[in-house]
Structure 1
Amino acid sequence: MQAKPENKLADYRFINDALVDIYDNIMRIEEGSIKQSRFKDITAKELHLVHAIGLHSHKTTSEVAKTLNLSKGTLTANLNVLERKGYIVRTTNQQDRRIINLGLTSKGRLLYRAHDAFHRQLVEGFLKGFDQDEVQLIKQAMVNLQTFIDEVSLK
């Protein structure tokens, strides 16, 4: 059964407003928790860069730049700051010395784990009360949204 046009429009408005509010609130909560934590010297943008580098992967600068959709120059400037603050380390790739791999220091790994715990709580709260079939629908909606975002960002 098709939704009535007025219901569909109301659903679209609700979802749009919810996405905007949720994004704003997550960013506000992250920024507030950073200020109250032992990581007062980090910004939300730097936190997400640490998260993109990851715990164990030793990604290259090119991989991280692509993941975050940053120019190599912008990434380098941000990496310089994170390195100076003691969150990351750059190492030369042993197979190809032109490639720089990124890793987290113990301070960076601690920050990563704290941020990851926040996101786990976020997802648990989001999925609370849904059965497995409903979770699969939510996953499909998230895939659809990410596909759309990827297509728009390629333009």
Structure 2
Amino acid sequence: MKDEYIHQINILQNNFNILVAKKFEDKLDNQLTAKQVLLLELIKQGFTSTKDIADKLNVSTSAVSQILNKLEDRGYIERNFNPQDRREIILNLADKAHQYFRDLAALKLQINKDIYGNLSSKDLKQLKDILEKIITIADESDQSNANN
């Protein structure tokens, strides 16, 4: 029975994602891959070196560099020399990335208003509590896998 619920949840999540993507696809630059967005998010959070990003994601610096090259070619990031150590390159978001994040923030507000805004406070609290449980379980699973 539990497996059937999980299967139904996966279908519902996919359907929700498809509906949201269809409704809002014209509102955001959808030319970015999930990995590119992840790297932009990390740079926005303050990760300014290829090595720091690679360490955070537990991947090779060359894998990160390949994605960063594409982001730089498309005008989303800038690479600058560290004035204190010219051997070090500092990653910064370019204007195009800042615009992407402004557009994303506006999109999130619209989704909150159009979709989540139609749920009752009780439903929103229940959804929040369940998502927090899922995140805790996923985090514990990730930590246990890292220790093995």
TM-score (norm 1): 0.63
RMSD over aligned Cα atoms: 3.6
- The answer on 1:128 being equivalent to 2:118 is yes
Residue-pair matches, total: 141
Q: Secondary structure at the match of 1:109?
A: helix
Q: Percent identity?
A: 25
Match of 2:77 among 81, 85, 88: 88
What is the TM-score when the length of structure 2 is the normalising length? 0.65
Structure 2: how far apart are the matches of 1:68 and 1:150?
14
Separation of aligned partners in 1, 2:59 and 2:22 = 22
> Of residues 110, 116, 125 in structure 1, which corresponds to 2:99?
110
Question: Can you list the C-alpha shifts for 1:83-134, whole angstroms capped at 9, x where unaligned?
Answer: 1211112345567777654321111111121123223322332343321x54
Secondary structure at the aligned position of 1:135 is classed as helix
Out of 14, 33, 36, the position equivalent to 2:26 is 33
- Whether the aligned pair in 1 keeps the contact of 2:116 and 2:124 (CA below 8 Å) is no
Q: What amino acid does structure 1 have at the position aligned with 2:104?
A: H
* CA distance in 1 between partners of 2:59 and 2:26 (Å): 25
Q: In structure 2, which of residues 134, 137, 146 is the aligned counterpart of residue 145 of structure 1?
A: 134
Q: Which structure 1 residue ranges, 5 or more long, are not aligned?
A: 1-5
Secondary structure of 1:90's match?
strand
